[in-house]
Amino acid sequence: MTAAAIGRSFAAETLVGFKGTWAQDCVLLVSELCTNAVLHGTGALHLRVLAVPGWVRVEVQDGSDLIPAARAYSERASTGRGIALVEALAADWGVHHVPSGKLVWFELGDRPDDVEAPLTEDRPREQVTIALLGAPIELVKSAMEHGESLLRDLMYVVLAGDLAERFPDGWTPPTLDLSPVLDVVGAAVGPAADLQIPLTEEAGNAARDRLAMVEFADGLARQGILLSPPSSVEIAACRRWALGEIHAQLAGAKPRPWQPPAGGDAQEAHEPLP
């Protein structure tokens, strides 16, 4: 069974006999958070369910310190809805760092008076601002979205054991936090803009590693091994430019503005992804 299936089963068994639609919502959100922890987290996954009539709190802990956030992906996206669902359905939710990673929690129903809310504190990190000059806004969104879909499909293939030689230690997700990029892109106005994105110094190598993994997944998609379609020419070029700029600038290089693929290749990019 997958972590999401185990989590759903555990939550459903814990809430047997509880009435209210929040019980079904709880099972759904447990599935989403467990999937997120496998896709984006590391180490062991810990699930805790606390429930009394009319109220439940769920805590999901993993070994990654990347803070999850809702993704502003298109309706066609096959990923990125976990935290958005939590925001929409939960009465309250939050996330905080723990010594071994992070803990994400949510509550449904009315919290009893004698129960305290979990902590939501976060530790500050030093940041460096990088620039994506002339960034094509919608194309950057599509490139990040499609990369997430490819990685999600790759995760399932790895967990099935079909790529044991390439991933001898099992699934280890990329550690780049895309939230700062997506937040800035989401707030941009116009078809193109110069974006100033605050990132931690660790994001440079993380961007390089993420790009390598997405490119590998894209190769599998071209062989028909993944469900997601392969990248269009311009999607692939934008992904390489954006992640490459993060890596290069955090290593000390000057920004390079976006340049679309030359010649007839650019035309392919204007076709929407299936």
Q: Is the pLDDT of residue 274 over 50?
A: no
Helix (H, G, I), strand (E, B) or coil at 259: coil
Does one domain contain both 143 and 69?
no
pLDDT of res. 273: 29
Q: Which residues of 101-132 are buried (b: 16+ CB within 10 A; e: fewer)?
A: bbbbbbbbbebeeeeeebeeeeeeeeeeebbb
More confident position, 122 or 34: 34
Q: Is the pLDDT of residue 265 over 60?
A: no
Phi and psi at residue 203, to the nearest 5°: -65, -25
More confident position, 149 or 79: 149
Cβ pair 102, 64 in contact under 8 A: yes
Chain center to CA of 75: 16
| Inside any domain, residue 228 | yes
- Predicted TM-score (pTM) of this structure: 0.65
Does one domain contain both 134 and 239?
yes
- Structural domain including 148 reads 128-269
Beta-bridge partner residues of 62: 102
CATH number at residue 38: 3.30.565.10
pLDDT digits 0-9 by tens, 48-82: 888 888 888 888 888 776 766 665 555 454 445 67
pLDDT of res. 272: 33
Q: How many domains does the chain have?
A: 2
Does one domain contain both 105 and 234?
no
User: In the chain, which residue ranges form alpha helices assigned H by DSSP?
Assistant: 3-14, 21-40, 82-89, 137-159, 179-187, 203-222, 233-250, 265-269
Q: Is the pLDDT of residue 183 over 50?
A: yes
More confident position, 213 or 103: 213
pLDDT of res. 214: 96
Cβ pair 165, 115 in contact under 8 A: no
Does one domain contain both 53 and 133?
no
| Inside any domain, residue 242 | yes
Average of per-residue pLDDT across 36-41: 74
Last residue of a domain, one of 61, 77, 109: 109
Phi and psi at residue 16, to the nearest 5°: -60, 130
Q: Is the pLDDT of residue 268 over 70?
A: no
Chain center to CA of 160: 21
Average of per-residue pLDDT across 143-162: 90
Tokens standing for residue 80: 């990125």
Helix (H) or strand (E) holding 47: strand 46-52
| Inside any domain, residue 122 | no
pLDDT of res. 102: 81
User: Token match 């949510």: residue?
Assistant: 106
More confident position, 182 or 272: 182
Cβ pair 123, 97 in contact under 8 A: yes
Beta-bridge partner residues of 97: 102
Non-local (6+) Cβ contacts of 90 within 8 A are 29, 106, 107, 108
pLDDT digits 0-9 by tens, 108-141: 888 888 888 776 655 566 789 999 999 999 999 9
Report the range of poorest mean pLDDT among 105-119, 141-155, 197-211: 105-119
pLDDT of res. 140: 96
Q: Is the pLDDT of residue 270 over 50?
A: no
pLDDT digits 0-9 by tens, 7-28: 778 888 888 877 667 788 888 8
| Inside any domain, residue 116 | no
Report the relative pairing of strands 46-52 and 128-136 from DSSP bridges. Answer: unpaired
Output the average pLDDT for the chain: 83
| Inside any domain, residue 121 | no
